[in-house]
Amino acid sequence: MCLAIPARVVELMDEDMARVDLGGVRKEISLALVDEVALGDYVIVHVGYALSKLDPDEAEKTLALFAESGLDLQAIAEGSA
């Protein structure tokens, strides 16, 4: 449920509107539900509204956590080799 996707704000417009970019596709959305969005921020877009900002640091951390399992695996593989 709740199809939403991170997109980058490429233009701030009047009336809480913004243009976002997703893989080269651009769409006007509303920022009325989130505060303090800046150009270049990623926001999570749902039915034409930004629901929240996306935190790039946290995204990196999560990706690092995934990778961690890879490292573990590698370590173990090496250990067992």
Partner 1 sequence: MKYVDEFRDGEVAATLAEAIAREADTGRRYAFMEFCGGHTHAISRYGVTDLLPANVRMIHGPGCPVCVLPIGRIDMAIRLVLERPEVILCTYGDCLRVPASDRLSLLKAKARGGDVRMVYSAADALALARKHPEREVVFFAIGFETTTPPTALVIKQAQLMGLANFSVICNHVLTPSAIMTILESPEVRELGTVPLDGFVGPAHVSTIIGSRPYAFFAEEYRKPVVIAGFEPLDVMQAIRMLIRQVNEGRAEVENEFTRAVSEEGNLKAQALVSEVFELRRSFEWRGLREVPYSALRIRAAFAAQDAERKFDLAFTPVPDNKACECGAILRGVKKPTDCKIFGTVCTPENPMGSCMVSSEGACAAHYNYGRFRDVPVVAA
Partner 2 sequence: MQANYTRPLDLKRGRVDLSHGAGGRVSAQLVRELFARHFANPALDAGDDGAVLPAPGPGERLVMATDAHVVSPLFFPGGDIGCLSVHGTINDVAVMGARPLYLSASFILEEGYPLADLARIVESMARAAREAGVPVVTGDTKVVEQGKGDGVFISTTGLGALPAGRTLSGNQARPGDAILVSGTMGDHGMAIMAQRESLAFDSEIVSDTAALHGLIAQLLEAAPSVRVLRDPTRGGLATTLNEIASQSGVGMVLEEKAIPVREQVDAACELLGLDPLYVANEGKLVVVVPAEHAEAALAALRAHPLGSDAARIGEIVEDANAFVQIRTGFGGKRMVDWLSGEQLPRIC
Binding site for partner 2 (CB under 8 A): 1-3, 5, 22-27, 45-47
**7 vs 37, beta carbon nearer partner 2:** 7
Report if residue 80 touches partner 1, rule: CB under 8 A. Answer: no
Residues 6+ apart with CB under 8 A from 27: 7, 19, 20, 45, 48
What is the distance between the alpha carbons of residues 16 and 33, in angstroms, rounded to a whole number? 9
Report if residue 30 touches partner 1, rule: CB under 8 A. Answer: yes
In the complex, the smallest distance separating the C-beta of residue 37 from partner 1, rounded to whole angstroms, is 12
